[in-house]
Amino acid sequence: MEEKLKIPYPVIVEGKYDRQRLECVMAGKILTTDGFGVFKKKELLQLFRTLSEKTPLILLTDSDGAGKLIRSYLTSAIPKDRLIQLYVPRIEGKEKRKAAPSAEGILGVEGMEQKLLFDLLSPYADPQAVEKRLMDNPLSKTDLYLDGLTGRPDSKIKRDELAERLGLPSGMTPSAFLSALRILLSYEEYCSLVGR
């Protein structure tokens, strides 16, 4: 494994085991939602909001239903331009510390390979490159509509198929999907992927 990434933005994960996993690949501030605790602890949500006024935050939750619920809650509470949405792929399996798989039978952040997490976070070790990539990427909801990824009866299926190819979770909303695409792909890479 290469040297730990120096990530300048705080990273929000669900729990302490997710934090411990990320500490293997990055140096920087890692905050937890205490699972569903963020729904009850108003001071924790306020901390995230206050931090977001000073710096963008990276949000990295599990790809299961619970992770999506936490992500949705935080996305509605924090301005979307202050959140960098990262996604782990949906991989079946069981974390080593657990006796049985999760209810959905998929791995969370804590179960991801270190290399995958390193690769996922590495673009954010250089904040100027992140800002430039987002500012230079003209990918929009119009593109998703023109490519059949929104606005049609089969759009959800098409988004899920593309998400699987990119290692993203299924069931993403069009807005979340667009945010992820803008971070993961240049406009040219997107056009090539959809066959333009």
C-alpha to C-alpha distance for 127 and 132, rounded to whole angstroms: 9
C-alpha to C-alpha distance for 25 and 128, rounded to whole angstroms: 21
Q: pTM surpassing 0.75?
A: no
Closest CA to 145 of 158, 133, 164: 158
pLDDT tens-digit map of 113-170:
999 999 889 888 876 766 666 667 789 999 999 999 999 999 999 999 998 888 777 7
Question: What does the radius of gyration of the chain's CA atoms come to, in whole angstroms?
Answer: 17
Length of the chain: 196
pLDDT tens-digit map of 27-60:
999 999 999 999 998 888 888 998 898 888 999 9
Mean pLDDT value across residues 169-189? 81
Token pair recorded at residue 72? 């949705």
The overall longest dimension of the chain from CA atoms, in Å, is 47
Question: Can you list the domains of the chain with their CATH numbers?
Answer: 1-126 (3.40.1360.10), 137-196 (no CATH)
Token pair recorded at residue 177? 């999907």
